[in-house]
Amino acid sequence: MSEPVIIERYAENSAVQVIRFNRPEKKNAFTRDMYRTMTDALNAANSDNGVRVTVFFGTEGCFSAGNDIGDFLAAAMGGSMGQDLIDFLYALAKAEKPLVSGVDGLAIGIGTTLNLHCDLTIASDRSQFRTPFVDLALVPEAGSSLIVPRIMGQQRAFAMLAAGEAFSAEDARLAGLIWKVTTAEQVEHQTLSAAAKLAAKPPEALKIARDLIRGPREEIIARIDEEARHFAARLKTAEARAAFEAFMRR
């Protein structure tokens, strides 16, 4: 059986770590195991001098459909989401080296919000960014309620995070959510080449520049925690459970 997340080095540049979501039969929805694998890879990169940049990819035509709704339903029915999701969000927010993503196709929920923690995102023109948190009776996560209004202003943030409106790749670029739009054929090549260029830069200067641009992490971590408290409570509500069940029995 193939691994649902593949961690590898870019063949042409071993300083580029690639995290590839590889669960296409479930639209690359993230399970708790997948979060753990990704968290370990991000944390390992922080202390590995051989890694200078980490890249995220999904599979052809699908970045990620977000958190596995089966896992949400299990939590709604008395289980727990555990620490796996929150640990992944911390690892993203605290990553010490540049994060780059190449999005092709659907980027839903955390498939959208993880890009907020990336320094460069290149998306194919057929990509779509969508966060249906409220439709699932949930609330925004990953620090998105803090970062998205800063990036794109109150109204577009509300349209995305509360109204659940889909943003095309071009909408996302204009809103400042992503860096560039390209074709589906070009997205991986351009993303890897951007990552390789970053990996060739003086790492200490790049780190300082990145830290200055990203600003203090403490407030992002605090917002991740605040959102997570609401999120955990929402997961236990009847309206959330009904939304998860409706999805699972389609």
**Site residues for ligand COA per CB under 6 A:** 26-27, 29, 65-70, 106, 108-109, 132-133, 136
Shortest separation between residue 107's beta carbon and ligand COA, angstroms? 10
Shortest separation between residue 61's beta carbon and ligand COA, angstroms? 9
Shortest separation between residue 89's beta carbon and ligand COA, angstroms? 13
Shortest separation between residue 219's beta carbon and ligand COA, angstroms? 23
The nearer residue to ligand COA, 17 or 37, going by C-beta atoms, is 37
The nearer residue to ligand COA, 136 or 175, going by C-beta atoms, is 136
The nearer residue to ligand COA, 52 or 223, going by C-beta atoms, is 223
Give SS3 for 101.
strand
The nearer residue to ligand COA, 71 or 188, going by C-beta atoms, is 71
Residues 6+ apart with CB under 8 A from 57: 18, 19, 20, 21, 63, 101, 102, 104, 188, 191
Give SS3 for 72.
helix
Closest chain position to ligand COA (CB): 109
In DSSP notation, 173-228 reads: HHTTS-SEEE-TTTHHHHHHHHHHHHHTS-HHHHHHHHHHHH--SHHHHHHHHHHH
Work out the angle at residue 183's Cα, subtended by the Cα atoms of residues 177 and 187, and round it to the nearest 5 degrees.
70
The nearer residue to ligand COA, 26 or 126, going by C-beta atoms, is 26
The nearer residue to ligand COA, 68 or 84, going by C-beta atoms, is 68
**Position 96: which residue type?**
E
Q: Is 198 left (phi over 0), alpha (psi -120 to 50) or beta?
A: alpha
Shortest separation between residue 233's beta carbon and ligand COA, angstroms? 16
Nearest to 108 by CA among 125, 126, 131, 133: 131
Shortest separation between residue 47's beta carbon and ligand COA, angstroms? 31
Residues 6+ apart with CB under 8 A from 48: none
Shortest separation between residue 46's beta carbon and ligand COA, angstroms? 27
* Interatomic CA distance for residues 33 and 26, integer angstroms: 14
The nearer residue to ligand COA, 93 or 114, going by C-beta atoms, is 114
